[in-house]
Amino acid sequence: MALHTGRHFLQIPGPTNVPDRVLRAMDYPTMDHRGQEFADLGAEVLAGMQRVFQTEGTVVIYPASGTGAWEAALVNTLSPGDKVLMFETGHFATLWMKMADSLGLDAEFVPGDWRRGVDPALVEEKLRADTAHAVKAVCVVHNETSTGVTSRIGEVRKAIDAAGHPALLLVDTISSLASIDYRHDAWGVDVTVSGSQKGLMLPPGLSFNAVSDKALAASKTAKLTRSYWDWNDMLGPNAKGFFPYTPATNLLYGLREALTMLLEEEGLENVFARHDRHAEASRRAVRAWGLELLCQEPREYSSSLTAVLMPEGHDADALRQVILERFDMSLGAGLTKLAGKVFRIGHLGAFNDLMLAGTLAGVEMGLSAAGVPHKAGGVLAAMDYLSGAEEAAAPKMAAAGD
């Protein structure tokens, strides 16, 4: 590989770039996790995560990857043999289904083509047919990281309600939380799953459950084996800012700093708007190149990442390798069914217009270097959109300053 100078461009859809100030916040002596200083920290980050999930309910933090939070959501609410309704929207939905199966649940996996999200009408149809209420939970991936498709959770909740069904709603937001508008309470979600390494701008290592009162009630009678993941062991210590075991102290320092950036400085509405802009600019670049988006439903376009189909006869992994070697930039690979067929551009987390322009320039130069058929001008299309959006926003910013 060529010698590279400057920073590596990490443009996979997670783990994302960690801001320097978050890294500095983590570079702090470990404190006594049984002392009052830590209790203050614990209470602060738990309250901050409630704001990120847009909930007034319980939030639980684990030292784990998002996979751990998946397991916690299932084992705290369900019993062996319970039927769960799950949807094949991509690689990670498939992994969650396999976990449910391995835990002894009866997972009905509704087939999908990996190019669309969950169809709310199909949810309603399935639940109306379940007159015995055998289905105990509906499990949905909000933003499928492998495909760049975002399911419409608010509409899924309306479908469950229209069917008059009591099933719990469990939602994975690992690649959407703090990047795409998500409303745990307003959308009636019972358990929301997430992780630290994407929109929250942290390294991997923290995972989260946001939990409704209905889900907490279900945990009292759920019979799946649990110990480490037990919410009930968390609730007492958490009420005072503590944890029932040694927490990931320095990651929590970083989380506090990230929450300050997201909630106090930029504001969630602005965070969502920034991600929307960068996603639209990326899609305009893809169209200008004459390439095809994997997501086929505009209402389901992801604001966290863009998945791009390769022209017939060209390999996405070969393109990614050229881009890595020539320009020191990492793009996301196609996973399982999509291996070699797509590349994924991550544009979430600590990200700005110039970083996006550099990312898209790397892709456009890589397409040329790899001999992939395309049209020139994708970067210009994105830049034209971004500059126009900036101009449109300028009067509003001036008015706010007045």
Are 87 and 210 part of one and the same domain? yes
Are 256 and 280 part of one and the same domain? no
Choose the final residue of a domain: 196, 229, 264. 264
pLDDT at 120: 98
Choose the final residue of a domain: 264, 286, 320. 264
Does some domain include residue 260?
yes
Instruction: Name the percent of the chain in helix, strand, coil, to the closest 5.
Output: 45, 15, 40
Are 149 and 64 part of one and the same domain? yes
Does some domain include residue 4?
no
Per-residue pLDDT tens for 314-323? 999 999 999 9
Are 221 and 329 part of one and the same domain? no
Are 318 and 182 part of one and the same domain? no
Does some domain include residue 241?
yes
| Percent of the chain whose pLDDT exceeds 90 | 95
Per-residue pLDDT tens for 125-179? 999 999 999 999 999 999 999 999 999 999 999 999 999 999 999 999 999 999 9
CATH of the domain at 232: 3.40.640.10
Give all strands (DSSP E) within 19-173, no chain letters: 58-63, 83-87, 106-110, 135-141, 143-144, 149-150, 168-172
pTM of the model: 0.94
Choose the final residue of a domain: 206, 237, 264. 264
Q: How confident is the model at residue 397 (pLDDT cuts 50, 70, 90)?
A: very low
Are 358 and 212 part of one and the same domain? no
CB-based contact 290:374 (threshold 8 Å): yes
CB-based contact 87:118 (threshold 8 Å): yes
CA separation for the pair 8, 113 (Å, rounded): 34
Residue 398 has pLDDT above 70, yes or no: no
Quote the number of domains for the chain. Answer: 2
Residue 395 has pLDDT above 80, yes or no: no
Q: Average the pLDDT over 50-71 and give the result.
A: 98
Are 25 and 44 part of one and the same domain? yes
Range of the domain at 365: 9-16+267-401
CATH of the domain at 315: 3.90.1150.10
The CA-based diameter of the chain, rounded to the nearest angstrom, is 64
Are 242 and 123 part of one and the same domain? yes
pLDDT at 224: 98
Per-residue pLDDT tens for 366-392? 999 999 999 999 999 999 999 995 555
Cis status, amide bond into 15, omega within 30 of 0: yes
